Amino acid sequence: MVIGACSIELRIPGNRSLKGKRRVLKPLLTRLRREFNVSTAEVGFNDAWQMAEVALVTVANNDPGHVQASLEKVVVWVQMFRPEVQVVDWHIETF
């Protein structure tokens, strides 16, 4: 069994409240769960209005390359299809 974890640091430009941040992140995390079959959570910058760190986790059967590629697809998808957020940094680890 291979476990892949990805953390993505996001910037939410123009956001002015934690409520606005939640309005952006909640649909994003729900869509990532549904579209890519990953577990998601907001894990950092909880009190910052314009920054967020989200974590994604997936599991595969003995194929670390598949896990790496799957999580990279998620990052590319966020960059391409979610213009309301900017990907500042991201990191993938497999276990």
Q: What are the φ/ψ torsions at residue 27 (nearest 5 degrees)? A: -65, -35
Read off the pLDDT of residues 22-75 as tens digits, 9 standing for 90 and up: 999 999 999 999 999 999 999 999 999 999 999 999 999 888 999 999 999 999
In DSSP terms, 87 is beta-bridged to: 10
**What pLDDT score does 62 carry?**
86
Judge contact between 22 and 16, C-beta under 8 A: no
**Structural domains in the chain?**
2-94 (3.30.70.1120)
pTM over 0.75: yes
Q: Which helix (H) or strand (E) holds 81?
A: helix 64-81
Catalogue the E-assigned strands of the chain. 2-11, 39-44, 51-60, 86-94
Q: 89 pairs with which residues across the strands?
A: 9
